[in-house]
Amino acid sequence: MDIQASDIVVFDDHLEINVKHSKTDQYRQGNNVFISKSGGLACPHSLLARYFSAASIDLSSSAHIFRTPKFVKKGNLYTLGPRRLSYTRCRELIKESLSAIGINSIPYSTHSLRSGGATFIADNLMKSGASDRLLMLHGQWKSEKAKNMYVKDSLESRLQLTKYFPT
């Protein structure tokens, strides 16, 4: 959760996020992650723009974009504190959100979101013809083995392999 506002560049059709360091960056060179604007309900581009606006985050600042939320009783609202959001608190918020909508949160964590996103993208890679190498670059996996720990093959993608064979 170490991404600062100045690490994100917003374009009309995509976001560019500069990941300065991660545990998978063998050469400590950093990486740029690109996320296209889909315009759908869960479009990361649109959601992040709304978040920046609601949280009054200046994109040129060095403030962390994910910060500890604080409840203000007087205004009956949440504001962002000065400290970055810890991994532990992020996991707690995910579990609380899942429980609030009636989902058993015990088997889920932040890696569940990473795995689900990677699986969704991998399923769509098969349909689009994009390379598996791009998935590894985007997910910042340094090996096929590491990527394969996150990507779970859906029934649809497994059936896709045999769908076009003549009978």
Domain boundaries, the chain: 1-85, 86-159
Which has more confidence, 95 or 152?
Answer: 95
Rounded Cα gap, residues 167 and 149, in angstroms: 34
Specify the fold of 1-85. Answer: hpI Integrase; Chain A (1.10.443)
SS3 state of residue 64: strand
Average pLDDT, the chain: 83
Is 127 a residue whose pLDDT tops 60? yes
Local confidence band at 9 (pLDDT 50, 70, 90 cut-offs): very high
Using one digit for the tens of pLDDT, what is the confidence trace for 46-82? 999 888 888 888 899 888 888 887 878 887 777 788 8
Q: Which of 32-41, 45-54, 142-151 has the lowest mean pLDDT?
A: 142-151
pLDDT, residue 24, reads 63
Contact present, 111 and 105 (Cβ < 8 Å): no
Rounded Cα gap, residues 136 and 88, in angstroms: 26
- Structure-block tokens of residue 140: 């910042």
* Cα 164 to chain centroid, rounded: 33
- Structure-block tokens of residue 45: 């581009």
Rg value, the chain, Cα: 18
SS3 state of residue 81: strand
Local confidence band at 12 (pLDDT 50, 70, 90 cut-offs): very high
Sheet holding 8-10, edge to edge: 8-10, 14-19, 31-36
Q: Which 3-state string (H, E, C) describes 5-36?
A: HHHEEECCCEEEEEECCCCCCCCCCCEEEEEE
- Structure-block tokens of residue 50: 């709304």
